[in-house]
Amino acid sequence: MESSVPLYSSSYLLLLLLPSLSLLLPPPQATASPLSEATALLHWKSTLQDPSRALRSWAALHNSTTTSPCSWLGITCTSSRITKLSLPRAGLVGTLDALDFSALPSLAVLNLRRNFLAGAIPAAVANLSGLVSLDLSHNRLSGGLPASLATLSLLVKLDLSANELTGKIIPALFANWTRLTYLQLQQNQLTGNIPTEIRHLSNLRILRLFDNQLRGSIPRELGDLRSLVQLDLNSNNLTGSIPRSLGNLTRLAILRLSYNQISGNLPHELGNLSNLGVLSLFTNQLSGPIPHEIGGLQSLELLGLSQNRLTGPIPPSIGNLSQLFILYVNQNQISGGLPPELGKLANLENVHFAYNLLTGSIPSSLGNLTQLNHLYLLFNQLTVSKS
């Protein structure tokens, strides 16, 4: 009976001492303890400005009641290891330089979007070898995409959009990202070509590279990414023609190639994109006719072809696009008459044909378009029939 008392109290004492004791010890072997995870985060916190005191709960571990950072704001643990660090819109000002990524070996999700983080993306971010999702978008990060990111082979989502990133997208980045489904690098200042090695991203569903300074042609290899649902390359400096292979992306819902210097004809194969809702090709140097096959885009809601050099007539097959509500073809060299089939497009709201070479009369079927808000036909040679 008596012997159990000292036994109990000594183990109680040990429990109390344990956290502070392990602070003094070197980190155990290769794996970090929860305590070194906490220490790494507290060190990073000490380098940040936190005007809204988002990290208030990130406090030093004084006693046994707070042995773990798992209750801190933005931290999620699994089996008392930090697996998720998520602090979007927390008002954090600083850099990532002082964050010891190697102290967070279990981290799967790192989300610091919409803070005020500046400086480079440290190469050491690759120490997060279990990372599944990395979102550093909408910060002020600068410098290049570290080549070390290529080793993060478990990544499913990578969003570095809306920063100040520069330099090229190096081909080696794409070597190991076989699970990647979201790649968002838009709204940066990336230069160079889109590497053909992008074909390795066989699970990619969302590819958004708009608002950069990418050059060269659209790689034909994009046609290999059969899971693609969104492809947005707007506002770059892309040249060359639209690869015919894009017609193989039958799951595509959004295709945006506007505001580039893309030339050549519209490939007939695009007519195979039966799930396409948005086809945005504004402000390029596309020439030749609008292919008859456009009638195959039976899900299309927005067709934007304005400010190109398209010639020939509007194909009557356009009457197939029963979901269409925005049709912009202004500022081309489209000739011939307005096809009466336009009257079949019951959802049409905005139609812009100004600055073309259209002739003939305005078909009376357009009177069937009850949803029509805007119909711009200025600067053509159309006549109004008085029937």
Ligand X SMILES: *[C@@H]1O[C@H](CO)[C@@H](O)[C@H](O)[C@H]1NC(C)=O
Residues that bind ligand X (CB under 6 A): 59, 62-63, 65-66, 102, 123-124, 126-127, 148, 150-151, 153, 172, 175-176, 213, 223, 237, 244-245, 247-248, 268-269, 271-272, 292-293, 295-296, 317, 320, 340, 343-344, 365, 368
Looking at the Cβ atoms of 153 and 361, the one nearer to ligand X is 153
Looking at the Cβ atoms of 86 and 368, the one nearer to ligand X is 368
| Burial category of 28 from C-beta neighbours within 10 Å (exposed 0-12, middle 13-18, buried 19 and up) | exposed
Query: Min. distance of Cβ 356 from ligand X in angstroms?
Result: 21
Query: Min. distance of Cβ 234 from ligand X in angstroms?
Result: 10
The strand pairing partners of 255, in sequence order, are 231, 279
Q: Which two tokens stand for residue 123?
A: 């190469």
H-helix or E-strand spanning residue 42: helix 34-47
Which residues fall within 8 angstroms of residue 105, CB to CB, at 6 or more apart? 31, 32, 81, 127, 128, 129, 130
Query: Min. distance of Cβ 3 from ligand X in angstroms?
Result: 28
Q: What is the DSSP letter of 328?
A: E
Looking at the Cβ atoms of 84 and 244, the one nearer to ligand X is 244
Query: Min. distance of Cβ 161 from ligand X in angstroms?
Result: 16
Q: Are the CB atoms for 338 and 369 separated by under 8 Å? A: no
Query: Min. distance of Cβ 347 from ligand X in angstroms?
Result: 13
Query: Min. distance of Cβ 259 from ligand X in angstroms?
Result: 7
Looking at the Cβ atoms of 176 and 299, the one nearer to ligand X is 176
Q: How far apart are CA 2 and CA 266, in angstroms?
A: 91
Looking at the Cβ atoms of 107 and 114, the one nearer to ligand X is 107
Query: Min. distance of Cβ 122 from ligand X in angstroms?
Result: 7
SS3 44: helix
Chain Cα centroid distance, residue 77: 27
Looking at the Cβ atoms of 114 and 305, the one nearer to ligand X is 305
CA angle in degrees (0–180, nearest 5) for 101-103-107: 70
Looking at the Cβ atoms of 263 and 368, the one nearer to ligand X is 368
CA angle in degrees (0–180, nearest 5) for 270-273-275: 155
Query: Min. distance of Cβ 358 from ligand X in angstroms?
Result: 18
Q: What is the torsion angle, in degrees rounded to the nearest 10, for the CA atoms of residue 254, residue 260, residue 262 and residue 263? A: 130
Query: Min. distance of Cβ 302 from ligand X in angstroms?
Result: 18
Between the alpha carbon of residue 102 and those of residues 20, 82, 83, 126, the distances in Å are 22, 12, 13, 9
CA angle in degrees (0–180, nearest 5) for 239-245-247: 110
Looking at the Cβ atoms of 137 and 212, the one nearer to ligand X is 212
Q: Which two tokens stand for residue 355?
A: 């600055």
Q: How far apart are CA 168 and CA 166, in angstroms?
A: 7
Question: Nearest residue by C-beta to ligand X?
Answer: 295
Looking at the Cβ atoms of 18 and 357, the one nearer to ligand X is 18
